[in-house]
Amino acid sequence: MTSPYTACAELVRQLHLAIRQLESHAMAMQTSPLKGREWFELLTRKLVPQLSDDAFLVVGVVGGTNIGKSVIFNHLAGCRASATSAFASGTKHPVCLVPPGFEQKHDLASIFCGFDLHAWSEANAALEDHREHRLFWRTNDSIPSNLLILDTPDIDGDVRVNWERADNIRRCADVLVAVLTQQKYNDAVVKQFFRKAAEEDKVVLVVFNQVLLPDDEPYWPVWLQTFCQETGINPEFVYVAPADRRAAEENRLPFYLRDWPLRESPNNLVEQHSLKTDLSALHFSTIKLRTLRGSLRTVLNERFGLPAYLAEVRSRSEEFRTASALLSTHELAESREWPPVPNPVVVQEVRNWWQAQREGWTKTVHNFYNALGRGMLKPFASLRDRLQGERVPPLEQYRQREWQTILDTVEKVYERLQWFSELGNPLLQPRIDRLLNGKSRVEMLELLKTRHDLTDLEFEVRSLIGAEMEAFRQESPQSFQLMKWIDHGAAAVRPVTSVCLFVTGFGPAGHAVQSVAANAAVQFAVDIASGTVTAVAGEKALSETAATGAGLFEAWFRRLHARFAAKRAAWLGRMLKDHLFGTLPDELQAAISIPQSEAFQRVQFTITQLQKEVTAADG
Mean pLDDT across 178-203: 87
Residue 445 lies in a domain: no
Tens of pLDDT, residues 101-132: 888 888 888 888 778 888 887 766 666 777 78
- What pLDDT is attached to residue 514? 33
Q: Between residues 2 and 200, which one has the greater pLDDT? A: 200
With beta carbons less than 8 A apart as the criterion, state whether 57 and 284 touch: yes
Name, in order, each residue with C-beta under 8 angstroms of 341's C-beta and a sequence gap of 6 or more: 395, 398, 457, 461, 560, 561, 564
- What pLDDT is attached to residue 466? 85
Distance CA 135, CA 165 (A): 9
With beta carbons less than 8 A apart as the criterion, state whether 612 and 7 touch: no
- What pLDDT is attached to residue 250? 86
Q: Range of 111's domain?
A: 53-287
- Quick one: angle between helices 520-530 and 343-357, nearest 10? 90
pLDDT at 89 over 80: no
Going by DSSP bridges, is the β-strand pair 203-211/175-180 parallel, antiparallel, or unpaired? Answer: parallel
Give the H or E element holding residue 97.
Answer: strand 95-98
Tally of structural domains, the chain: 1
CA torsion, points 310, 312, 313, 318, in degrees to nearest 10?
130
Tens of pLDDT, residues 233-276: 999 889 999 999 888 888 888 888 888 887 765 555 556 777 77
- What pLDDT is attached to residue 450? 92
With beta carbons less than 8 A apart as the criterion, state whether 18 and 248 touch: no
Tens of pLDDT, residues 125-147: 666 777 788 888 989 888 888 78
Q: What's the pTM?
A: 0.47
pLDDT at 508 over 50: no
Residue 509 lies in a domain: no
Distance CA 604, CA 611 (A): 11
Res. 516 pLDDT band, cuts 50 70 90: very low
Distance CA 619, CA 606 (A): 20
Tens of pLDDT, residues 545-588: 434 444 555 666 777 788 888 888 888 888 887 877 777 777 77
With beta carbons less than 8 A apart as the criterion, state whether 213 and 269 touch: yes
With beta carbons less than 8 A apart as the criterion, state whether 116 and 133 touch: yes
- What pLDDT is attached to residue 329? 44
With beta carbons less than 8 A apart as the criterion, state whether 34 and 40 touch: yes
Q: Between residues 297 and 375, which one has the greater pLDDT? A: 297
Residue 32 lies in a domain: no
Residue 615 lies in a domain: no
Give the H or E element holding residue 196.
Answer: helix 188-199
Residue 602 lies in a domain: no
Residue 168 lies in a domain: yes
Strands in 256-258's sheet, in edge-to-edge order, are 116-119, 134-139, 95-98, 147-151, 57-63, 175-180, 203-211, 237-242, 256-258
139: CATH? 3.40.50.300
Tens of pLDDT, residues 314-345: 988 887 887 776 665 445 555 567 888 887 88
Q: Between residues 439 and 527, which one has the greater pLDDT? A: 439
- What pLDDT is attached to residue 497? 43
Q: Name the most confidently modeled range: 5-19, 96-110, 212-226, 497-511.
A: 212-226
- Amino acid identity, position 355: Q
Residue 479 lies in a domain: no
Residue 128 lies in a domain: yes
